[in-house]
Structure 1
């Protein structure tokens, strides 16, 4: 269901207000077509105003939505909401504007419920953790997610137990506990939906140049770990597809990672193997030799026709062969990633994929809802060639089917994150059997731990425990820029770490 309007006006020009109002418009598929486009209404106007606070200091906001139809008739809807005592003033204003508009669209304009309501952020469990720290119990948090954020009961009952499940894992980390992320920004081919900053695998000369720069990057990070007395809890080698490297380069890279960062305190060593066409017996042997504890196998789908459509150079049978080879090598934990909402697929295709994936017995299954990003070829194809994606309703059916198979394996959700423009207004959620939780995934999603980023397109996230804030530095997404400006990125990372952990702020 879409609503098309010729023009849109908002009574507040502040960027944050414009952003949150437009999030609601996108959520309900309100399309602003311009003066020449065909539309249901000539104009949509939103007016927000703050009313006097309550006697106990809670914020009160009123939102008015006005629609003007082609016949000149005006429809006006007004909603008021009151904030909570435990939220910051600015956060309360922003939430109440979104909540008011959400309820107007739902109740007055009969728009369908969004599973997550107004929980638009990447990490919805962070709100749950804040309430847990405030002493709220599980039933109370579930009720508040529904009242304050219009979150569906089903989603609330998914993320609240998940947050409580994370507590003992988060408790294993302190100020001096860190994780290390190594980015290998190469792939064998570029998938149709991909918007990640990866490069098609270059020739040997460029690879040699990359390895030299990567070594310099690692040595600087290794010195930082030593200088600040960090304990490396988790190592995550991602990308791109790290296993797209030729065997000798892969072994050289993984040896450097192991020698520089693996220590007795390290509990998890993950490598994204991604695609079957990137794996070889030699790479499996290297991972086994160096004690890799977790490998990601990402079929995305087990439908041969879809694999061809999205640009994958392998078959479902190749996925099975790769999985079994990793199992036979004794890799402790194998994760499998799947995407819901791929072009041309139906809920029954997802059922068949889940039959084939669960038959293998993976330790962890991550269900991604397709996020249609501007940088992907799929976005351009949809605009230029009208490539069809499954409807939101069909994608939600896919999710229900996939989760039913996951639960049959005895798996429960343990971390979750959201992105913009996700099919079905869904989420990316990882489910695993007890004991197979990915520690790195929990730590990075809850932003509870400093992550030292190394390599192409890597991000360093430094948690400053004294100031109760987090700052990030980003290595270039573009390979040429990363290779040329490595000294700049090393210095930016050093400055962030020194600000949070330096001698002038003794621990």
Structure 2
């Protein structure tokens, strides 16, 4: 639907954001300049949204939608929503603003139902965990998701079951249990869809400058762990593709991470190995030597023509050989990533890819829906590629899920991104006992995560205030090298704020 002018009566940043999310969800395009307005025919001349918000006795929102067609015909619709008594006031207002408008668009403009309803955030299962902590039963939680967020029964049921499945894992963590993320921002080449802050592996001089800052970052984090008596539950080395490093640099990096953070409480050590063109027997032996327990292998697809199209310098057979090398070398739990919605692919391609991936017997499979991110070559040259539509991507997702479930995998964590094909989600599926602790902890955001390296984020959970604060390292590795002392200081201050007072009390 194309709208010539869109008017919103509220200027609050949160409300503007919520309304914009709905316009994007329903693909409502607002003409934003005179030339475009003159050239294109609009479905609606003016679309106006007004809200009347009251806070007592309980928060309520009355929303009015006023539309003027190009013919001059006007229509007005309204709806009222009232908060639940157990909701926080402003959270309820924001939910109702979005829910009311979602329902008006659905009822009066024949917009299709969205499987995730009005949920837009990265971590939808956090809502379910909050409901569980409030004592709601499975049936009550599903009902709340259906009625308060317009989530489909399928999504409400599977995310609720997933959250209950996660509980025993999340409960292994106490206030001083943390995870560590180590970022190595280098790849051998850049994929078509990639928007991550990853760089083609630089020359020795630049690499030495990076590791000089990285060493300082790692040693400072190690000192913080010791200072605050923190227990490292899981370690995750990601990127980029960490295995892009030379054998010697990879061995040194792994050795330093192992020595700094691996301890008696560590239950999982993951390395993103990514692409077979970066893997060697020496690197596999390094991972075994330094107690890596989980390796991520990312074919993305097993279709040769697609691999060439997206800029992957390997073949499906290379993936098979890499997988076998890892199986022969160590007792690794192996995760494999697949992307749904790649240019030119169909459901038949996805079925073939899933059959080939699952024939290797991985322990964990992650299904990603293609995200069209700003900064990627794909997004910048979208007109050059034939992408499957939302319906096709949704069918791909169903095809892939049937394959993993038939193979005995269960969904155990999920997250969403902006601009995802098919309005879907990324979901990790594993055999019982092969679930990634780090993946569950980082999605729940209940545990402190120390971030080391370029583009890494430290998320510090203060259990006294029940607030999480974040410190971000620069995405640009030149900036990271230049400003490393500032990032270390910011992380240290947040850790002192979260853990320092308890330390002082115990000393007294």
Q: Quote how far apart the aligned CAs of 1:387 are.
A: 2.3
Query: SS where residue 87 of structure 1 aligns?
Result: coil
CA offsets, 1:111-137, max 9 Å, x none? Answer: 111010001111111110111011101
Q: Quote how far apart the aligned CAs of 1:64 are.
A: 1.4
Alpha-carbon distance in structure 1 between the residues aligned to 2:323 and 2:384: 35
Q: Quote how far apart the aligned CAs of 1:63 are.
A: 1.2
Q: Does the aligned pair in 2 maintain the 1:218–1:454 contact within 8 Å?
A: yes
Alpha-carbon distance in structure 2 between the residues aligned to 1:39 and 1:305: 40
CA RMSD between the two structures: 1.2
2:254 alignment partner in structure 1: 254
1:181 alignment partner in structure 2: 181
Q: Does the aligned pair in 2 maintain the 1:455–1:475 contact within 8 Å?
A: yes
CA offsets, 1:226-267, max 9 Å, x none? Answer: 100011110100001000001110001000000111111110
| Residues 280-429 of structure 1 mapped to structure 2, 5 A cutoff | 280-382=280-382, 385-429=383-427
Q: TM-score, normalised by structure 2?
A: 0.97
| Residues 13-92 of structure 1 mapped to structure 2, 5 A cutoff | 13-34=11-32, 35-36=37-38, 37-51=40-54, 53=56, 57-92=57-92
Q: Does the aligned pair in 1 maintain the 2:326–2:332 contact within 8 Å?
A: no
Cα distance, 1:193–1:216 mapped onto 2, change above 3 Å: same
Alpha-carbon distance in structure 2 between the residues aligned to 1:254 and 1:209: 18
Q: Quote how far apart the aligned CAs of 1:334 are.
A: 0.4
Alpha-carbon distance in structure 2 between the residues aligned to 1:366 and 1:103: 33
1:211 alignment partner in structure 2: 211
Q: Quote how far apart the aligned CAs of 1:51 are.
A: 4.7
Q: Does the aligned pair in 2 maintain the 1:211–1:253 contact within 8 Å?
A: no
Query: SS where residue 263 of structure 1 aligns?
Result: coil
| Residues 138-287 of structure 1 mapped to structure 2, 5 A cutoff | 138-287=138-287
| 1:488 and 2:486 are equivalent in the alignment | yes
Alpha-carbon distance in structure 2 between the residues aligned to 1:506 and 1:414: 39
Q: Does the aligned pair in 2 maintain the 1:274–1:296 contact within 8 Å?
A: yes
Alpha-carbon distance in structure 2 between the residues aligned to 1:344 and 1:256: 43
| 1:135 and 2:138 are equivalent in the alignment | no
CA offsets, 1:176-200, max 9 Å, x none? Answer: 1111111001011111111111111
Alpha-carbon distance in structure 1 between the residues aligned to 2:505 and 2:114: 47
CA offsets, 1:381-419, max 9 Å, x none? Answer: 11xx34231111000000000000010111111111111
Give structure 2 stretches of 5+ with no counterpart. Answer: none
Q: Quote how far apart the aligned CAs of 1:52 are.
A: 6.8
CA offsets, 1:349-388, max 9 Å, x none? Answer: 1111111111111111111111111111111111xx3423
Query: SS where residue 214 of structure 1 aligns?
Result: helix
Query: SS where residue 298 of structure 1 aligns?
Result: strand
Alpha-carbon distance in structure 2 between the residues aligned to 1:85 and 1:315: 57
The range that moved more, 430-439 or 331-340, is 331-340
Give structure 1 stretches of 5+ with no counterpart. Answer: none
Q: Does the aligned pair in 2 maintain the 1:186–1:239 contact within 8 Å?
A: yes
Query: SS where residue 78 of structure 2 aligns?
Result: strand
Alpha-carbon distance in structure 2 between the residues aligned to 1:386 and 1:360: 34
